[in-house]
Structure 1
């Protein structure tokens, strides 16, 4: 007898905004968005414990999710739109035309729900069954058009549901995704739009920051003239030799790490839970590698840091960068964690207090590599400031949230924990051999700080 397929698709649908709710619209992009146009898509998974049967899933959950998603799209219409890139100096933009829709896949999975939602190392390729790719690009001599968003809802009979979402990064940053998810879950729970509208959290589509110089600089990064020939959407597929694990740094542990840094570096201007968490993870990963230079970078939400501030409801990307390069030998020594905390804290303080502002010309980042290209480059996906564990479709809070797209580049993810917003949940993706070393180092090194 042959084995059952891991995943069976039960329905493939297209979801539109309600009729006559959104006019044809072109949403201009800016330098905030241009740097993400050639980057891999963002994949994130929400797991919910729910004793769902196939009948209940098909007859109740599927129509409810489609109806609530449709209602949400009238306020977040770019999620049903397309990125349009022109082979000229004309700036890329998001296009929504009446009739545009997004792809939603409903599926059944026989993988172990409990295993997928655990914290210990798990094979990354198991999760790829639960995310959907973006639709195919349309390429003409005048433009390249790329779908921006897709959804896959998967049920695990009698165990739970996962909701996997994929978006092109030019659609928006984590803040924009959080706003969309807040709206969708609110409408799904209540069955109407009243509760969402009462919050007054409608997205702001005005391009409130205009900087032609930065537009020109970052548009060069897009290389629009060859985009049609170059663009090949990256897709995660197995089998692979990488694993993902979830590490928890509790408030008590974070305070101990901050205390150790403050004792060693009493004049360091920036010592936060975020920076010490990044420093600790970076120093542990460094000990799994045998290379010369390592880069650690993260993005900074610019909304509150502009003059004047940009409203929180701003739709799109609104991120600045902060990157640090250090020799691996300094990160792996006895004071590797302190070194990592020092360079991260100093660089973040410099970035936030720079007289020229937080926004940099693209050539600024090129200067970072004048002494060599690091072989290890780690980024941070997500932010603990956004409470993604509050996303409730009516089945309770998620059992687990996973950022699958860190698999593309070996970055880490960071979120506040379900149990306590003061604890940090960190996702790490490493090769199988590196993961075994990393987990051992993480546990052993932590004991020395407690």
Structure 2
């Protein structure tokens, strides 16, 4: 399925970064044990392998090197000290990003489709982060890796993997904007990352998250969770157009006249959440006397919500947790869509409207986001954000043919991104067992036709 053509390391230009360190905040520390994020961009390139090697690779390598000069944490390592000392991101001369070049014999046209496709076929196309190394007094954990995969006379993919401690989606998109601009135009006229740690929040939050369950496992035996197959799941892509979403919002507004928050995002997520719940019926045992709860988690950008507000180019993680919890039977019932939309809207409103410097109740985020109590066995998270135009990631050979968030396979999350044809359309990525995906397809399409 895959032949590795080259493995090398890409560093910032010599003597441009030096030794630097970046402290972590509680916004970063909460992601210490989260699995790596895997993203995949497919591009058309109907040319020979020599042309790919001679034209595409040198440009991608050079532009990545220049970008790392300004986004040095991507070429750095996470340094973990014995608790209670906080981890930090550290760069020293010689630090670099692992850069893999491969050739795949998989069906390119199948991979870039929207129909259900085997999840395991995507795993070879995203790189592992690499190996953890143990120094005398700390662990050193790589944070970022790149893989370029060529498909004979058809196209290529760019797979990127990052540790979530490195940054959130906003910072990563800023990184991609610079990388693509330098690759395409050999220059960059946008804003540069803002590294100052000006966040004001109670120091107790650092202590809470540094003492979260599992910290003791950060020792010489710690290893990064790689994404490996085989998988029994399939992934598919669904779309809601701007016009369809508008109809759905109007319908919801009539049905829920007192609802304080109805947005394109909440309506889309609510619809998908309810369809997933309905698709489980018949596949899971249910005790009607003890109806189980389900949890939906999405993230809000807190940069403008901090006190004082942070620069939109602030580097790192700065997202707050919005958690909706409701009963499975209500989600899978005839009014499941309305229940989901109202629950998600209330969760978002409750989180973003707090004026406590953006961190009120933050000590509860870890439990709400990651711990799975016995009474809440089902959890769905959202990867991506429609506020970022992911299909603008053009390195000079055209916009992506297809984008995939491969890491949603791990925990049943969904991806929600701005559409390729219009940023006001929404593209949803979903990974489910085959039979459940078949059920989801029928429910998703039939309910749209019957109600909207």
TM-score scaled by length of structure 1: 0.94
Q: Residues 25 and 95 of structure 1 are in contact (CA less than 8 Å); yes or no, is this contact kept in structure 2?
A: yes
Closer, same or farther in 2 for the Cα pair 1:165/1:370, shift >3 Å?
Answer: closer
More displaced 10-residue stretch of structure 1: 349-358 or 242-251:
349-358
Query: Within 5 Å, which residues of 2 pair with 1:64-79?
Result: 64-79=59-74
Deviation at 1:235, TM superposition (A): 1.6
Is 1:262 the counterpart of 2:253 in the alignment? Answer: yes
Is 1:273 the counterpart of 2:273 in the alignment? Answer: no
Counterpart position of 1:205 = 195
Q: Residues 47 and 400 of structure 1 are in contact (CA less than 8 Å); yes or no, is this contact kept in structure 2?
A: yes
Match of 2:240 among 240, 246, 249: 249
Match of 2:3 among 8, 16, 23: 8
Deviations 1:363-397 (A, max 9, x none): 36547989854111000000000011001111010
Is 1:83 the counterpart of 2:78 in the alignment? Answer: yes
Is 1:29 the counterpart of 2:24 in the alignment? Answer: yes
More displaced 10-residue stretch of structure 1: 93-102 or 285-294:
285-294
Match of 2:412 among 407, 410, 413: 410
Counterpart position of 2:363 = 362
Query: Within 5 Å, which residues of 2 pair with 1:357-396?
Result: 358-359=358-359, 360-363=361-364, 366=367, 372-396=374-398
The DSSP-based 3-state class of the residue aligned with 2:157 is strand
Query: Within 5 Å, which residues of 2 pair with 1:174-213?
Result: 174-190=169-185, 192=186, 195-196=187-188, 198-199=189-190, 201-211=191-201, 212-213=203-204
Deviations 1:191-225 (A, max 9, x none): x3xx31x32x1101111103312212222127544
Counterpart position of 1:306 = 306
Distance in 2 between residues matched to 1:181 and 1:145, nearest whole Å = 25
More displaced 10-residue stretch of structure 1: 428-437 or 59-68:
59-68
Match of 2:144 among 132, 141, 149: 149
More displaced 10-residue stretch of structure 1: 286-295 or 220-229:
220-229
Deviations 1:100-149 (A, max 9, x none): 11100001111111110000110000001101101100124511110100
- Structure 1: tracts of 5 or more residues without a match: 1-5
Distance in 1 between residues matched to 2:195 and 2:442, nearest whole Å = 47
The DSSP-based 3-state class of the residue aligned with 1:221 is coil
The DSSP-based 3-state class of the residue aligned with 1:203 is coil
TM-score scaled by length of structure 2: 0.94
The DSSP-based 3-state class of the residue aligned with 1:426 is strand
Closer, same or farther in 2 for the Cα pair 1:152/1:424, shift >3 Å?
Answer: same
